Amino acid sequence: MGIIWARTQTVGYGYQGTVEGGRRMTRKRFVKLLMSKGIQRNVANGKAKTYISNGFSYEQAYRNFLLVYGIKSGFKKLGEAFSVANVSFRTLTKSIEKFKEGYTQ
């Protein structure tokens, strides 16, 4: 692993964050990474400002965002799976009822 160091600058602009393998996590990169996840530019800039004002580096902020984003995505997929299972269960119940009706006649 390469050298890891941190450099801070005022008000969250510039190179706020760490450098790993020669890549700096700049505000611009942070915003672009959030935009790649579907976040609008203005919202991403707001999140950058909020994280920096709370003492996070851009890299820490992005890792935190990925954690929350992953949890939200997981719950969304789980909800979709339950919805599909519910529809399947209702279809199965109706089929069993129709089978019983035909069997008892």
Mean pLDDT for all residues in the chain = 77
Question: Residues 69-79: what's their mean pLDDT?
Answer: 83
Which string of b and e fits 26-57 if b means at least 16 CB within 10 Å? Answer: bbebbbebbeeeebeeeebbebbeebbeeebb
18 exposed, middle or buried (CB, 10 Å; 0-12, 13-18, 19+)? middle
Q: What is the pLDDT of residue 96?
A: 84
* Ranges of each domain in the chain: 5-104
Q: What is the pLDDT of residue 105?
A: 63
Q: Sheet containing 23-24: which strands, arranged edge to edge?
A: 5-7, 17-20, 23-24
Q: pLDDT tens for residues 12-59?
A: 444 444 444 456 789 999 999 999 989 999 999 999 999 999 998 898
In contact, 16 and 58? CB cutoff 8 Å: yes
pTM above 0.75, yes or no: no
